[in-house]
């Protein structure tokens, strides 16, 4: 360790302590859910008093959970695909072209990042209501696409900036037509950025609460809202079991990302 960059030992120890505390703070509320899912007690407590799988059974055999899980999955996948396609094209135009109203488009596309989500939620409820899309699958798709598009645009703008424009020109000089350039040059180079945008968008959408809260209805409810509703009436570890399954799925995703592109590289 070089002595100029590192702080004196007192500060270094303090720094290490804060890092440790933050890591515990970030992980503890996630990890504590897992043992609670196996508790025999009908209330959520810790430490646990016995070992059982019955809450998992309860979670898996509850039709609402299954239905809402698959609805959430379907909504997030469709919303992500739309965001990536629309966001990718728009990002390309923002980075490589100059056109009138570019600044406005950028502002509009990125605004939900600063637009309070509750405002967006209520406004969207009215728009979707007047279009007759409330409590429908297309309505949910529209709502989620609006939430995820800014993240997709942002990630893709960054990626397009990192791609040398000369490459496209080189491809053109070599006789490649437009579609060919996109398929053979741009998309392969965009892949890490696309992946990052896709993962972010999937997470955002799967987790979306505020906007969906107003758009969903009976038989058309996403998982986070179904879980929230459940906790309004019950306080048993079924939610822990569902959470444990979700954590397991997240861990699988993290593992897959870490093995393929590297989480750190993806999000930097």
Partner 1 sequence: MTTATKDTPLSVLLIPASVIGCLMVLSAVLMLGISVLDSFPGWTGLTLEHYRDFFENRFLLQAGLRTISLATVVTLICLLLGYPVAWFLALGRSKIAHLVFLAVLTPLIVSIVVRMFGWTILLGNEGLLNKVMVGLGIVSAPVQMMRSFWTVAIGLIHIFLPFMILSLTSTLGRIDPSLAEAAATLGSRPVRSFLQIILPLSAQGIATGSIIVFCLTTGVYLTPLWLGRGNVTVLATAIQQQILETGDWPTGAASAMLLTFFTLLLVAGYSVLIRRLGRR
Partner 2 sequence: MLGQIAIAALSVHSVAKSLGGARVVKDVSLAIKPGEFISLLGPSGCGKTTLLRMIAGLEMPDSGTIALGDKDITTVPVWERNIGVVFQNYALFPHMTVAENIAFGLRTRKVSKTAIEAKVRDALKLVRLNDFGPRSTDKLSGGQKQRVALARALVTDPKLLLLDEPLGALDRKLREQMQVELKMLQREIGITTLMVTHDQEEALTLSDRIAVMSDGKILQDDSPKEIYERPRDAFVADFIGMSNLMKGRVAELDGKKRLAVSEKVILDLPSEVNSATDVSIFVRPEKLSLAEVPGAAGSSLPGRIVHVSYSGSVTHCFVDVGLQEPLTVLITNKSNHEDAGHRIGEPIWVHWDARNIVVL
* Residue 171 interacting partner from partner 2, partner 1, none (CB closer than 5 to 8 Å by kind): partner 1
Alpha carbon distance 249, 258 (integer Å): 14
Q: Which two tokens stand for residue 134?
A: 């409330």
Q: By CB under 8 A, is residue 28 in contact with partner 1?
A: yes
Examine residue 236 and tell whether it contacts partner 1 (CB under 8 A). Answer: no
Q: Select from partner 1, partner 2, none the partner in contact with residue 236, using the beta carbon and a kind-dependent cut-off of 5 to 8 Å.
A: none
Length of the chain: 268
Please, which residues have CB within 8 angstroms of residue 202's CB and are 6 or more apart in sequence?
76, 77, 80
Nearest alpha carbon to residue 152 among 83, 204, 211, 94: 83
Rule CB under 8 A: choose which of 64, 210, 236, 261 binds partner 1: 210
Stretch that binds partner 1, among 49-57, 60-68, 111-119, 188-196 (CB under 8 A): 111-119
Please identify which residue in 109, 155, 198, 216 interacts with partner 1, judged by CB under 8 A: 109
CB of 4 to partner 2, least distance (A): 5
Distance, CA of 148 to CA of 150 (rounded, Å): 6
Alpha-carbon Rg for the chain, nearest whole angstrom, is 23
Total residues in contact with partner 1, by rule CB under 8 A: 101
Instruction: Supply 154's token pair.
Output: 């942002």
Binding string, 48-77, against partner 1, x = CB under 8 A? ------------------------------
**Total residues at interface with partner 2 (CB under 8 A):** 3
Of 6 and 162, the one with the shorter C-beta distance to partner 2 is 6
Write out the two tokens for 264: 């750190």
Identified binder of partner 1 from the candidate list 13, 57, 89, 256, rule CB under 8 A: 89
Identify residues 4-23 at the interface with partner 2 (CB under 8 A). 4
Nearest to 203 by CA among 261, 250, 141, 142: 250
- Near partner 2 in 230-249, by CB under 8 A: none
Find out whether 137 and 72 touch, Cβ atoms under 8 Å: no
Least CB distance to partner 2 at residue 15 (A): 19
Q: How far apart are CA 47 and CA 260, in angstroms?
A: 37
258 binds partner 1 (CB under 8 A): yes
Q: Does 2 bind partner 2 (CB under 8 A)?
A: yes
The SS3 call for residue 2 is coil
Site string for partner 1, 120-159 (x = CB under 8 A): xxxxx-xx--------------x--xx--x---x------
C-alpha to C-alpha distance for 129 and 121, rounded to whole angstroms: 12
Adjacent-strand bridge partners of 220: 217
At 130, list the tokens: 């007047």
Query: Which of partner 1, partner 2, none has residue 25 at its interface (CB below 5 to 8 Å by kind)?
Result: partner 1
The verdict on 103 binding partner 2 (CB under 8 A) reads: no
Q: Is the peptide bond before 219 cis (omega within 30 degrees of 0)?
A: no
What residues line the site for partner 2 (CB under 8 A)?
2-4
């Amino acid at each position: 360790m070089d002595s100029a960059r590192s702080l004196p030992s007192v500060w270094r120890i303090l720094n290490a302590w804060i890092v440790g505390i933050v890591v515990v703070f970030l992980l503890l509320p996630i990890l504590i859910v897992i043992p609670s899912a196996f508790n025999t007690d009908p209330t959520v407590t810790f430490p646990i008093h016995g070992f059982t799988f019955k809450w998992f059974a309860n979670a898996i055999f509850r039709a609402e959970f299954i239905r809402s899980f698959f609805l959430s999955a379907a909504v997030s996948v469709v919303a992500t695909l739309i965001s990536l396609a629309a966001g990718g094209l728009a990002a390309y135009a923002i980075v490589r072209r100059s056109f009138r109203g570019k600044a406005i488009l950028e502002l509009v596309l990125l605004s939900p990042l600063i637009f309070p989500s509750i405002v967006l939620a209520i406004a969207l409820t009215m728009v979707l209501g007047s279009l007759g899309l409330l409590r429908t699958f297309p309505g949910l798709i529209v709502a989620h696409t609006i939430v995820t598009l800014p993240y997709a645009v942002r990630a893709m703008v960054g990626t397009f900036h990192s791609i040398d424009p000369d490459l496209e020109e080189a491809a053109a000089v070599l006789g490649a037509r437009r579609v060919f350039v996109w398929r053979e040059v741009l998309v392969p180079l965009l892949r890490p950025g696309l992946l990052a945008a896709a993962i972010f968008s999937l997470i955002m959408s799967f987790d979306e609460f505020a906007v969906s809260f107003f758009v969903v209805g009976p038989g058309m409810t996403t998982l986070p809202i179904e879980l929230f509703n459940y906790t309004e009436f019950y306080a048993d570890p079924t939610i822990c079991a569902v959470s444990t399954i979700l954590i397991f799925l997240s861990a699988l995703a993290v593992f897959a990302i870490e093995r393929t592109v590297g989480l750190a590289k993806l999000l930097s």
